[in-house]
Chains A and B, each alone.
Chain A
Amino acid sequence: MPNSSSCPFPKLTPEEAAALISNGATVAFSGFANAGAAKVVPGAIAARARQLHESGAPFKIRVLTGSSSGNNIDEELAMAEAITWRAPYQSSPTLRKQINRQEVEYVDMHLAHAPQVLAAGFFGRLDYGIIEATEVTRDGRVYLSSSIGASPTYLRYADRVILEINRYHSMRLPEIADITTLPPPPRRNPIPIHDPLTKIGYPYALVDPKKIVGVVETNEPDAVRPYTGPDRKSERIAEHVVKFLFGEMITGHIPKEFLPLQAGVGNMANSVMAALGRNPYIPPFKMYTVVFQDALVELMEQGKLEAASATSLTLTPAVLRRIYDNMDYFVPRLVLRPQEISNDAGVIRRLGVIAMNAAIEVDIYGNVNTSHVYGTDIINGIGGSGEYTRNSYLSMVMCPSISRNGRISSVVPMCPHIDSNEHSVQVVVTDQGLADLRGLGPMQRAKLIIDQCAHPVYRDYLHAYVRDSKVGHIRHNLRKCYELHRNLMEHGAMLPDLKLSEITDAL
């Protein structure tokens, strides 16, 4: 195994690497949910941007990644005002502000779609790929680190490549990596995945060695922050989910061996996974998911989680260390795939994945807003929620019934942005309860969502909305459908006259 002294490519400092990037370039970084993100070159590019801006010269780049890459990439570059265009996902506070002020153009995309769109040339030319790896060989095998994301595609299509070789990561990560890049259509074979653990590719990505302009050496952990502890609402949501899935198993809708699970990122997903893990009646299960998070490591150690397929190990450094120190145990249980495969419509459908994703708000008919507050302000993006919700065997969407002490209801008459619609969303869960929408027409759905999921202080309003609306297959009043949202903008509360002191179990 070659060490750094025998690295066949020129060694660069971060500053030397950053100096290669020109104004207006399209740059694709490795990184998926903060895991495996390029770590030192983005900061050096940001410093360069600041210098150039001070001397009056323009410097902004177009940024692609796997998905979010918070502190390492988006935050640093956004603070230096060095981003003009961003795809396919982001989650950084500074960049978010710039997007919502329309200083940065942001294309919020389905994640499995991004590699195909790039490969087909729809994004134009890709000038640079800046990719974190544990090792690169003379013939261009690149062993990626804690996420795969879209890096194999970026390595293939970028004109020039800079590698960040990060010695922090375990050299055994290739044992869990399974990399294939799909050929262009129409002559593609089925993706032969039968199980979350099936491997179909190679442990490395490939790059034409002639494109590698240099290698930057680092030794830094992923900047993954811990989630705050579970709150009461998340635990209530988790209880409803566990009871429902157990019921589905008893009725035979879910087989006794269970089905592979997908869970979104965040507190609610963590609470649900922990609750499933604790419940003695839920059998040990597998996951086919996007992001492998802290809560899952413990479940895997206990044997409750038998296997997981993901595209990133989004783990806090201490927890990731537990994996790196115990690779003999984890290697046979984990597979890291490109996001094009982890989120592939066909595989999700075939395996019969149960999808559990968080929403900002749901409407009374089951349409879901996961990305835009007021229909205007981006929070993060659609991410993989659309591909899982649309193609899963059973799709569940979760959110707290109220937030800000009841000033906001997460159940609304109409969502002002729709990421997953009523045709794809089957089950809605809040801390109040669970609404199983399968087989129901719109009016039955509305009644169930209001009675089961809306907070009691908002139920009268929502029932009255339905009652007073124009009759049709769906009932709506296009003058009043956004009254709650407008109240919130104008008065800081969706129903300003509500007595919020009556709400006891607020956050």
Chain B
Amino acid sequence: MSIVGSYPKPSPEEAVSHIFHGATVAFSGFTNAGAAKIVPRALAARARTVHEKGDPLKIRVLTGASSGESIDEPLAQAQAISYRAPYQSGPRLRKQINSQEVEYVDMHLSHLPQTVLSGFQGRLDFAVVEATEITSDGRVYLTSSIGASPTYLKYADKVIIEINHHHSPRLREMTDILIMARPPHRSPLPLHDPLTKVGYPYAVVDPRKVIAVLETDEPDRVPKFTAGDPRSHKIAEHVVRFLLDEMLAGRIPNEFLPLQAGVGNVANSVMAALGENPYIPPFKMYTEVFQDSLVDLMQNGKVLAASTTALTITPEVLGRIYANMDYFVSKIVLRPQEISNHPGAIRRLGVISMNTALEFDIYGNVNSSHLYGTDIMNGIGGSAEFTRNSYLSMFMCPSIAKGGRISSVVPMCPHIDNNEHSVQVVVTDQGLADLRGLGPMQRARTIIEKCAHPLYKDYLYRYIEKSRIGHIRHNLEDCFELHNNLMDHGAMLPDLDLSGVTGSNLHFSH
């Protein structure tokens, strides 16, 4: 029984007819994992019909994190979103945000539930949450992500549950749900290890708020990442060698420390390389997204345990987990994003964080979100909560993009998501710069020498030489020359001879 109790079971069309223009709707979904699937589709269709009649229908959308294919894309295509938080990754929605048709609040992910419960986000009209089961007393067993769903279920005025039969009902065995109390009378979060459980296997909703329970059977629309390119492999090599050296020097214990890795090709390459290296001991992860590459590592015993808020796994690989739950349930814990990304837990466990940057500057400030300081790519996501609170914070990106027309190492970042005070190590395919204990000028020399592509080194050194002397050297006239050139001429240094540049990646492409 997936639905226990006498909940209304309308058609999807009837269910979405409750959702009115201007409503704030919170969907389940952290990445595409566990995202609501039926309601966004039906709501997009309804928006189109309403728009054709000349009536308005736009809603304010909250989720756990991105939810591209399942939520953002259909609703954005129907022009049904007026406001979006805390993260997104759909190409269509991105365009609407960058043309200022949609207001987007790019937030730290663990902060979101707290701002909802404290009322900072205003009233929450609807929650739409995917589950494997709901009981008559309002226990909701969530699916492949937890995200912010427990908070949404608690604070929404009305709730629609999507029961998705595709997911394993045994997911609850790896689920650990706790909603933090309001401050100031909170107890310490008793988490000592990535596998510690502190809560319950279900979220709770007041049954009287449930206006519809819908049923479906469809997989999460998690896209495959493309295979790692040569630059990602080089980055991975540098990271593995560095971590190994840190372990030999005693700065990382021999049992290793829990790892966090961002989403994407670079992170996948790094995880694969760590997994292959015989000198890196089996390790644990305290991370926000559990990806395909980690499943293999867990099956061969290299990843001992993982805490995450989402199983962002392609359907075929997720099928492997579901078919082998006896093995996986004891090794994975799914938590709310408030806990998976909790600053106190990250600090306590001594997490090593590894995130991807769009670009970083010669002093170690990182842009993870806005091209030219204006155009959003995805968002800051969990990168800052991990970077700021980790034991060792690393940022990675290819040294160049678009055949060398773009350098990822720049004089100054036009948007700063993580600053020089929090970023300790930066890595490109060229090499790794360990910035710990270095003042700004030492950092600049190390970053240019180790991380910048040789084609851009002279320019970056000259930038420093020409700049005003201070604790940090900058020239506020020229600091964005590379970005301005890129906008005007399609290349950061239009006179460079790029014929010798090999390898490619789509790092900066939309």
Determine whether the beta carbon of A123 is less than 8 Å from that of B437. Answer: yes
Would you list which residues of chain B between 443 and 491 have a CB under 8 Å from chain A? 467-474, 476-477, 479-480, 483-484, 487
- Tell me whether A185 and B105 are in contact (CB under 8 A): no
B476 touches A416 (CB 8 A): yes
Give residues 328-358 of B contacting A (CB, 8 Å): 342-351
Q: Mark B87-111, 1 if CB is under 8 A from A, else 0.
A: 0000000000111100111111000
Contacts of B343 in A (CB 8 A): 345-346, 348-349, 390-391
The answer to whether B347 touches A345 (Cβ under 8 A) is yes
Query: A471 near B: Cβ within 8 Å?
Result: yes
Q: Which of B200-208, B311-319, B372-380, B395-403 contacts A (4 or more CB under 8 A)?
A: B372-380
* Given A418-B419, A478-B373, A189 and B192 contact (CB-CB distance below 8 Å): yes
Partner of B372, one of A353, A378, A424, A472: A472
B125 adjacent to chain A (CB < 8 Å): no
Q: Chain B nearest CB: distance from A121 CB in Å?
A: 5
- Asked if A382 lies at the interface with its beta carbon under 8 angstroms from chain B, I say yes
Q: Are B412 and A375 in contact (CB under 8 A)?
A: yes
- Min CB–CB distance B341 → chain A (angstroms): 11
Q: Could you tell me which residues of chain A, from 302 to 330, have a CB within 8 Å of some CB in chain B?
A: none
B255's nearest neighbour on chain A, judged by CB, is A186
Instruction: Determine whether the beta carbon of A372 is less than 8 Å from that of B477.
Output: no
Given contacts A255-B182, A372-B471, A439-B105, contact A345 B388 (CB under 8 A): yes
Q: Given A194-B185, A345-B344, A346-B348 in contact, is the A474-B471 Cβ separation under 8 Å?
A: no
Tell me whether B415 is interfacial, beta carbon within 8 Å.
yes
* Interface check B417, CB cutoff 8 A: yes
* A-B pairs with lowest CB-CB distance, top 3: A346-B344, A352-B183, A185-B350
Given known A-B contacts A106-B439, A123-B437, A471-B374, A377 and B470 have beta carbons under 8 A apart: yes
With A102-B441, A186-B349, A375-B472 in contact, do A482 and B479 touch (Cβ < 8 Å)?
yes
Contact of B104 among A106, A252, A441 (CB under 8 A): A441
Cα(A440)–Cα(B85), bound, Å: 9
Query: CB < 8 Å: which of B122, B342, B476 contacts A375?
Result: B476
Any A CB within 8 A of the CB of B258: yes
Question: Smallest CB-CB separation from A286: which chain B residue?
Answer: B184
Provide the main secondary structure of the chain B interface: loop
- Expressed in whole angstroms, the minimum distance between the Cβ of A471 and any Cβ of chain B is 6
Q: Which residues of A contact B (CB under 8 A)?
A: 85, 87, 99-102, 105-110, 116-117, 120-124, 184-195, 251-253, 255, 257, 259-260, 286, 344-353, 367, 372, 374-378, 382, 386-387, 390-391, 393, 414, 416-419, 421, 423-424, 426, 438-444, 469-476, 478-479, 481-482, 485-486, 489
If A186-B253, A346-B344 touch, whether A101 touches B469 (CB-CB below 8 Å) is yes
- Among B112-120, B127-135, B158-166, the one that faces the other chain is B112-120
- In addition to A439-B120, A476-B373, 18 A-B residue pairs with Cβ atoms within 8 Å of each other are A99-B471, A100-B471, A102-B471, A110-B421, A116-B391, A185-B351, A186-B193, A188-B348, A188-B349, A191-B344, A259-B183, A386-B422, A421-B417, A439-B85, A439-B121, A470-B372, A474-B374, A481-B480
User: In the complex, what distance in Å separates the CA atom of A386 from the CA atom of B97?
Assistant: 28
- Chain A residues with CB under 8 Å of B467's CB are 376
CB distance from A403 to the nearest CB of B (A): 19
Q: Is the CB of A105 within 8 A of B251?
A: no
Which residues, 174 to 198 on B, are CB-close (under 8 Å) to A? 182-193
Q: A106-B471, A438-B115, A470-B372 are in contact. Are A423 and B106 (CB under 8 A)?
A: yes
Given contacts A376-B472, A473-B97, contact A438 B184 (CB under 8 A): no
Q: Can you list 19 residue pairs at the A/B interface with Cβ under 8 Å?
A: A102-B441, A105-B442, A110-B421, A121-B250, A190-B348, A191-B348, A352-B184, A372-B472, A376-B474, A387-B388, A421-B416, A423-B384, A423-B417, A441-B83, A474-B373, A474-B374, A475-B374, A476-B373, A482-B479
Of B253, B351, B419, the residue contacting A421 (CB under 8 A) is B419
Q: Is the CB of A184 within 8 A of B437?
A: no
Q: How far is the CA of A124 from the CA of B483 in the complex (A)?
A: 38
**Interface presence of B438 (CB below 8 A):** yes
Is B273 among interface residues, defined by CB-CB distance under 8 A? no
Which B residues lie within 8 Å of A260 (CB)? 184
Shortest CB-to-CB span from B1 to chain A, Å, is 38
A352 to B343, CA, bound (A): 13
Return chain A residues, CB-CB under 8 Å to B422: 110, 386
Across-interface contacts of B370 in A (CB, < 8 A): 472-474
Given that A184-B350, A478-B483 are contacting pairs, would A347 and B374 also be in contact in the complex, using a CB cutoff of 8 Å?
Answer: no
Pair A188/B104 contact, Cβ less than 8 Å: no
- B183 adjacent to A124 (CB under 8 Å): no
Q: How far is the CA of A349 from the CA of B346 in the complex (A)?
A: 12
How distant is the Cα of A191 from the Cα of B342 in the complex, in angstroms?
14
Closest to A252 in B: B119
For the complex, what is the distance from the CA of A61 to the CA of B39, rounded to whole Å? 65
